[in-house]
Amino acid sequence: MKDKTAGFIGGGRVARILLGGFRKSGQMPESIVVSDTNQDVLQKLKSDFPQIRITPDNNREAAKKDLVFLGLHPPVLAGVLDEVKDCLKPETFLVSLAPKATIAKLSEMLGGFDRILRMIPNAASIIGQGYNPVAFSAALSSSDKDALKTYFGVLGKCPEVVEEMLEAYAIITAMGPTYLWFQLDALSKLAVSYGMSQTEAESGILEMGAGALNTLFGSNMTAAEVMDLIPVKPLGEEESTIREIYRSKLEPLYRKLKNG
C-alpha cells in the first residue's frame, strides 16, 4: 500500500492525524493530494507535511488517487460525492472516516461504486497507537481486506467490526480521549504544583493509567471489586454525578449518529 497514491477530501484534524501516523511509521503514500474549501487549513497542513500537494476546493484531483479518504461531515457528503463519482478509478479504495453514512448509502450516492470501507479513526493514530475499527463493503475480497488492515495497522489496532457498531465506536473510542485528557492534564499540573518534575508527573500518570486499565479489564475481578481496592476516594461523592454526565451527554449523541 505504501506505493499507492492517496487523496484526502477534507484536510482537517483527521487528515492531520492519519498523515502524522503514516509519516511516523515511514509508510507515507508516494503521492498525496489534499483538497479542502478552507485555504488556511490547507496551508497549515502543507507546512507540516511539505510533501503533500494541496488543491483548494478541488475534490476531483484527490478523488483520482488509489486510496481516497473521505473526511467530511455528513451534511455535505451528497454534493461532494456527486461531484467526484466519475473520477474514481475501478481499482480505487474509498475510505469513509465519518459516522452515519452507511456503505450502502455511500455506494448509492456514488452511482454504484462499491469498493468502500468505513473506518472510525482514533487520535492516538498520530503516534501509531490508535484504535481504528473498520467495516468493509462485501465487494472487497479477502486479500483486499488483509492488505488494507495490514497497511492501516501502522496506525495502531485496526479490528474488523460489523458496520452497525461503528457509531458506538465513534462515541467510545474516537471521542473517548476527550473524556480523559483534560482530567489527566489536571492531575499532571497538580503533581508539578506538589513538587514533582514534569517528567516525574508524566511517568507516574502514564504508568498509573496503564495499570488502572489493565486491572479493571484484565484482573478477572469485577468492576466493583477493582474499585474497592482503594479505600480513599477523593472524588467518591461526585461519582454519581459524573456517571450521569456520561449517560446524559453520550446517549443522545449516539442516538443522533444512529438515527440522524
Sign of CA dihedral 25, 26, 29, 31: positive
Q: How far is CA 70 from CA 97, 100, 141, 171, 236, in A?
A: 6, 13, 21, 19, 43
Tens-digit pLDDT profile for residues 118-130 = 999 999 999 999 9
Q: How confident is the model at residue 2 (pLDDT cuts 50, 70, 90)?
A: low
Tens-digit pLDDT profile for residues 48-73 = 999 999 999 899 999 999 999 999 98
Under 8 Å between Cβ of 168 and 255: no
User: What pTM does this model have?
Assistant: 0.93
Q: What average pLDDT is seen over the chain?
A: 95
pLDDT of residue 259: 84
pLDDT of residue 4: 84
